[in-house]
Amino acid sequence: GDSVTQMEGPVTLSEEAFLTINCTYTATGYPSLFWYVQYPGEGLQLLLKATKADDKGSNKGFEATYRKETTSFHLEKGSVQVSDSAVYFCAHYTGNQFYFGTGTSLTVIP
């Protein structure tokens, strides 16, 4: 069935380090792909999205490319900041619902 698998955390990085959070998906259709971010005590906020193959979503220095051939949507950022500490969720939207990964907790230390 439809699902999302993302890299287990927690991830701890030093400020200005490079970030990659892996995400792969299984979908019966042609899904739209998303990354959501959840800051402590808050709801989910849409970080970026891609709706077709080879699209690159980007926002706040984060990027992810829709790779249909590998069914992946890895999140990257070249230089993380302390303010990026949060939980990141990969998701796909197929038919009538979102399918979420389990979330990856990121802590950035000064």
Partner 1 sequence: NAGVTQTPKFQVLKTGQSMTLQCAQDMNHEYMSWYRQDPGMGLRLIHYSVGAGITDQGEVPNGYNVSRSTTEDFPLRLLSAAPSQTSVYFCASSKGITSGTGGFFGQGTRLTVV
Residues that bind partner 1 (CB under 8 A): 4, 32, 34, 36, 42-46, 49, 51, 89, 93, 95-98, 100-103
Closest CA relative to residue 75, chosen from 15, 4, 26, 14: 4
Closest CA relative to residue 73, chosen from 52, 60, 95, 90: 90
Smallest gap from Cβ 79 to partner 1, in A, equals 25
Smallest gap from Cβ 32 to partner 1, in A, equals 4
Of 17 and 68, CB closest to partner 1: 68
Smallest gap from Cβ 99 to partner 1, in A, equals 8
Of 17 and 85, CB closest to partner 1: 85
| Those residues with Cβ within 8 angstroms of residue 2's Cβ, 6 or more apart along the chain or in another chain | 25, 26, 27, 28, 31, 92, 94, 99
Of 43 and 110, CB closest to partner 1: 43
Peptide bond into 31 cis (omega under 30): no
Smallest gap from Cβ 17 to partner 1, in A, equals 25
Of 51 and 83, CB closest to partner 1: 51
Distance of alpha carbon 43 from alpha carbon 7, whole angstroms? 21
